[in-house]
Amino acid sequence: MKRGLVLSGGGARGIVHIGVLKALDEMGITFDCISGTSAGSIVGALYAAGHKPDSIFDLVKNLSVFKAVRPAFAWTGLLTLDGLKDVLIKNIPNNDFNKLKIPLTIAATDIKNGQIHYFNNGELIPAVLASSSIPAIFNPVHLNGKLYVDGGILDNFPVKAIRNQCDIVIGCHCNHISSNFDVTNIKLVVERSLLIAIHANTEVSRSLCDVVIEPPGMDRFSSLDLSKVNEIFEYGYRFTKDNFSAATFQKIEA
């Protein structure tokens, strides 16, 4: 019986995926395929390459936003992801989907055609960068003659990309929207509005999962704030340990 893992986008909130993966690893839950968008594609790529959750967290914890991004000096975006690219090259030197230990699919948005594209072969790192390029903040990524931005615009929870490849799908979604929201500044209003808009394209995806791991109240963390990595990681780990067990997944697979 094949088991798939889906990791949503969510910026810094995506660090929760690492905590969830650590808990699942401790339960002995393994995966035959993975899909991810944006932050989920970063975590998914490192995990599929063979890195354990603790080592992935160490990489993220030591990567400040200033090291991860650089000025773009272009009208298409304020920043580039060249710093993140350097980290990925160092830790996934093969840079090839076919060299991964676990098959991986990454979602990115073709900005010219307005269509979602799923990468699962060829060069890995450009696909991760494309999936993570938040429009207007990061420069779009040129790849195979096309221009790509964040996959979350059209498919922030790419379950359908692997649903037909596995029998059981476990989804980790890091964008739970709570009802507790105070309008304190324009940044929070814009970010919450984007969360609500993206939420609309995840509803069908959620229904395609056999299990959804969605720690509540994640909207209290900003998508661009890497100062709370320890809290987010620990929250994902603890939530999964407290609410799921190996027996949960064994029952579904029976």
User: What region, left, alpha or beta, does residue 28 occupy, with left being phi > 0 and alpha being psi -120 to 50 degrees?
Assistant: left
Q: What residue type is assigned to position 49 of the chain?
A: A
Confidence of residue 237 (pLDDT cuts 50, 70, 90): very high
Q: What is the pLDDT of residue 12?
A: 86
* Token pair recorded at residue 253: 């697979």
Which of 124, 156, 159 has the alpha carbon at shortest distance from 141?
124
**pLDDT at residue 69 greater than cutoff 50:** no
Q: How many angstroms separate the CA atoms of 105 and 48, rounded?
A: 10
Q: How many angstroms separate the CA atoms of 124 and 151, rounded?
A: 15
* Token pair recorded at residue 196: 């609500």
- DSSP assignment of 200-221, as one string? TTTHHHHHT-SEEE--TTGGGS
Q: What is the pLDDT of residue 252?
A: 84
**pLDDT at residue 210 greater than cutoff 90:** yes
pLDDT tens sequence across 134-144: 876 777 899 99
Q: What is the pLDDT of residue 6?
A: 98
pLDDT tens sequence across 29-58: 999 999 999 999 999 999 999 999 999 999
**pLDDT at residue 229 greater than cutoff 80:** yes
**pLDDT at residue 200 greater than cutoff 80:** no
The structure's pTM equals: 0.89
Which of 214, 208, 200 has the alpha carbon at shortest distance from 154?
200
What SS3 class is residue 92? coil
* Token pair recorded at residue 19: 């905590």
Angle in degrees, 0-180, between the axes of helices 15-26 and 39-48, rounded to the nearest 10: 40
pLDDT tens sequence across 88-138: 999 999 999 999 999 999 999 999 999 999 999 999 999 999 999 887 677
Burial class from Cβ neighbours inside 10 Å (0-12, 13-18, 19+) for residue 133 reads buried
Confidence of residue 227 (pLDDT cuts 50, 70, 90): confident
Half-sphere exposure (Cβ direction) of 15: Cα atoms closer than 13 Å: 27
Question: Across residues 207-223, what is the average pLDDT?
Answer: 89
